[in-house]
């Protein structure tokens, strides 16, 4: 049984695959552009026009980049039997929504979506094993 744990945020996704007592860790970078638009600039003349920041352009670009990022992750986990998703803020929920809309067969395999803070690689592996009820001494429990 192929069990997959994913920890993701807007920077990267760490994927642990547990299969037949073996574990494999993969990292997928998001390639998201982080926009930091500055406020509008004032004209040199008094009461002159101001430059307007177009937030909608930045948000639309981010939305498309997130979609591509989530597609890469879904492609990587397409053959999973069980999936648990972890991450900070709203990243896990956004990924779950993307799975529901575009990959319903994968969304049905998701057992847990949980908000967790940053952690080391070993902590993440332990969390994934614990979330599936596995122990290092007995690789294929459940």
Of 44 and 1, more confident: 1
What is the rounded CA–CA span in Å between residue 136 and residue 126?
9
User: What pTM was computed for the model?
Assistant: 0.80
Kindly list the distances between the CA atom of residue 33 and the CA atoms of 10, 86, 92, 137, in Å, as whole numbers in the listed order. Answer: 10, 22, 19, 42
Please report the domains of the chain, with CATH numbers, ordered by start residue. Answer: 3-34+55-131 (3.30.420.60)
pLDDT for residue 141:
45
Beta strands of the chain (E only): which ranges?
Answer: 3-8, 12-19, 22-29, 82-87, 110-115
**Each residue's pLDDT tens digit, 6-55:** 999 999 999 999 998 899 999 999 988 876 655 555 666 676 666 666 77
The percentage of the chain sitting over the pLDDT mark of 70, rounded to a whole number, equals 81
Model confidence band, residue 134 (pLDDT cutoffs 50, 70, 90): confident
pLDDT for residue 50:
63
Q: How many CA atoms lie within 13 A of 12 on its CB side?
A: 10
């Amino acid at each position: 049984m192929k069990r997959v744990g994913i920890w993701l945020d807007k920077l990267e996704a760490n994927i642990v695959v547990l299969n037949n007592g073996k574990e494999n860790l993969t990292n997928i970078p998001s390639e998201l552009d982080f926009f930091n638009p500055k406020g509008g600039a004032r004209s040199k003349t008094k009461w002159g026009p101001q430059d307007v920041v177009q937030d909608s352009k930045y948000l639309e670009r981010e939305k498309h980049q997130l979609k591509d990022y989530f597609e890469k992750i879904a492609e990587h986990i397409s053959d999973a039997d069980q999936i648990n998703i972890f991450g900070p803020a709203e990243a896990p929920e956004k990924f779950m929504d993307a799975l529901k809309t575009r990959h319903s067969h994968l969304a049905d395999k998701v057992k847990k979506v949980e908000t967790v803070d940053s952690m080391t690689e070993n902590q993440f592996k332990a969390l994934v094993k614990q979330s599936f009820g596995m122990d290092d001494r007995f690789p294929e429990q459940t």
